[in-house]
């Protein structure tokens, strides 16, 4: 169901307040060809209503001749900011950038953040934004999980479907995504609500079994039959199964890049207002799948780059895979058990019943 401009403007005001926007600060709204018009107009109104100096920077799309999809995350690498010194200077001079274009996995983003600019990405449909307006409680929960993940040196992930994966940790930082930017130089994504890190280079071994109902992104498809992925020394060495496995393997091979097969980030979802089922309600081009990435209790694993964490590995291929009913342990301590987060918060009763019934 669509939302009113009033509701979305109020949502923006809440997020901007959490992001510590103050009168007189400069806000630049970064837009592109796919920016949602309602999200844009309400962002401009909300920022102006809070006394900000508001600019809009609109940039043309790139990589359309290379990507197999219109999804902004289907091909990484060069961005509309690549080589655009004037645009980069404008963003670095801003206190807050509202990214309605999707600027990710780029040296330009790191450069802008290093100037102390805060960047908030918001590209999901307006009704998704309103449903998952972040809260201070979201931040507290995610930060607690981040502190636990930061201390870990080993992550073990198992499932009844056959997943048995071991990741060495400690080389890269643990990252919090809770939906607002309350610190200088911080990047975040509204909506979100999860914790993640990147395994040590070459430090992941085992088997990932994607079961029926797990999700492939950016394909935005629910797995229909099991896919068996073998990982050795941090790289995928085999993808086995039926049609879903063939589609995944063909997509990864299309990049013609060995780094496409590297382990990227790992973590788990902590957002109770996100829905595993939401992706089924949308046209593939309407969403980038943040419900899937953030829903409470998923194990989110990824293949591709690690430059977002300060690593040197870049590749145009990035695949996120939210998985259900996994048990995630840190140094032998379970933090997620068969899809239920073990931090004292509880999923809705219907979700708990469903997980028990299928366990």
pLDDT of residue 314: 86
The conformation of residue 192, written as its DSSP 8-state character, comes to: -
Cα separation values, 37 from 26, 316, 351, Å: 21, 28, 34
| pLDDT tens, position by position, 145-196 | 999 999 999 999 999 999 999 999 999 999 999 999 999 999 999 999 999 9
Question: ∠160-322-311 over CA atoms, to 5°?
Answer: 115
CB 37 within 8 A of CB 123: no
Cα separation values, 256 from 204, 217, 231, 236, 336, Å: 22, 19, 18, 14, 35
Window from 106-110, 310-314, 349-353 with minimum mean pLDDT: 349-353
pLDDT of residue 132: 98
Using pLDDT thresholds of 50, 70 and 90, give the confidence band for residue 75. Answer: low
pLDDT at 266 over 90: yes
Residue 308 and residue 7: Cα distance in Å, rounded?
33
CB 34 within 8 A of CB 72: yes
Residue 90 and residue 148: Cα distance in Å, rounded?
37
Q: What is the mean pLDDT of residues 238-244?
A: 98
DSSP collapsed to 3 states, 289-300 = CHHHHHECCCEE
Write the burial class of residue 37 (CB in 10 Å: 0-12 exposed, 13-18 middle, 19+ buried): exposed
Using pLDDT thresholds of 50, 70 and 90, give the confidence band for residue 51. Answer: very high
Provide the CATH number for the domain formed by 5-130 in this structure: 3.40.50.2300
Residue 161 and residue 324: Cα distance in Å, rounded?
10
Range 105-108, long-range pairs (CB < 8 A, 24+ positions): 105/76, 105/77, 105/305, 105/307, 105/308, 105/314, 105/318, 106/76, 106/77, 106/78, 106/79, 106/81, 106/82, 107/307, 108/79, 108/81, 108/82
Q: What is the mean pLDDT of residues 74-92?
A: 87
Where in the chain do CATH 3.40.50.2300 domains reside?
Answer: 5-130
| pLDDT tens, position by position, 107-121 | 899 899 999 999 999
pLDDT of residue 70: 67
The conformation of residue 24, written as its DSSP 8-state character, comes to: T
CB 174 within 8 A of CB 285: no
Using pLDDT thresholds of 50, 70 and 90, give the confidence band for residue 260. Answer: very high
Among the listed residues 42, 52, 62, the one whose alpha carbon sits nearest the alpha carbon of residue 103: 62
pLDDT at 349 over 70: no
Window from 154-163, 193-202, 236-245, 310-319 with minimum mean pLDDT: 310-319
Q: What is the mean pLDDT of residues 132-141?
A: 98
| pLDDT tens, position by position, 24-49 | 999 999 999 999 999 999 999 999 99
Residue 273 and residue 284: Cα distance in Å, rounded?
21
Contacts of 10 (CB under 8 A, 6+ apart): none
Give per-residue burial for 240-271: e unless 16+ CB within 10 Å, then b: ebeebbebbbebbeebeeebbbbbbbbbbbbb
Q: What is the pTM of this model?
A: 0.92
Q: What's the CA dihedral at 304, 307, 312, 317 to 10 degrees?
A: 20
CB 273 within 8 A of CB 294: no
């Amino acid at each position: 169901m669509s939302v009113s401009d009033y509701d979305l403007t109020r949502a923006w005001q809440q997020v901007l307040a959490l992001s510590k926007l103050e009168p007189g600060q400069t806000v630049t709204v970064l837009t592109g060809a796919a920016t949602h018009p309602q999200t844009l107009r309400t962002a401009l109104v909300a920022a102006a209503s809070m006394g900000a100096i508001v600019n809009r920077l609109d940039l043309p799309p790139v990589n359309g001749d290379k990507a197999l999809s219109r999804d902004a995350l289907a091909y990484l690498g060069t961005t509309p900011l690549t080589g655009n010194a004037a645009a980069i200077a404008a963003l670095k001079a801003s206190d807050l950038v509202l990214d309605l274009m999707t600027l990710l996995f780029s040296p330009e983003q790191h450069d802008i953040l290093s100037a102390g600019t805060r960047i908030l990405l918001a590209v999901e449909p307006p009704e998704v934004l309103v449903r998952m307006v972040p809260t201070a409680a979201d931040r507290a929960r995610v930060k607690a999980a981040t502190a636990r993940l930061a201390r870990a040196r080993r992550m073990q992930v198992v499932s009844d479907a056959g997943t048995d994966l071991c990741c060495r940790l400690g080389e890269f930082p643990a990252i919090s995504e809770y939906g607002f930017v309350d610190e200088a130089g911080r990047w975040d994504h509204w909506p979100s609500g999860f914790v993640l890190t990147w395994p040590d280079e070459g430090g992941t071994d085992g088997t990932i079994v994607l079961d029926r109902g797990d999700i492939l992104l950016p394909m935005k498809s629910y797995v229909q039959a099991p896919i068996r992925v073998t990982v050795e020394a941090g790289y995928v060495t085999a993808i086995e199964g039926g049609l879903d496995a063939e589609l995944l393997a063909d997509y990864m091979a299309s990049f013609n890049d060995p780094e496409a097969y590297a382990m990227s980030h790992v973590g788990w979802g902590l957002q109770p207002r996100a829905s595993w089922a939401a992706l089924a309600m949308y046209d593939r081009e309407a969403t980038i799948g943040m419900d899937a990435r953030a829903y409470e209790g998923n194990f989110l694993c990824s293949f591709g780059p690690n430059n977002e964490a300060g690593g040197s590995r870049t590749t145009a291929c990035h695949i996120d895979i939210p998985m259900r009913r996994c048990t995630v342990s840190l140094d032998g301590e379970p933090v997620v058990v068969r899809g239920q987060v073990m931090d004292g918060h509880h999923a809705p009763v219907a979700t708990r019943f469903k997980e028990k019934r299928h366990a």
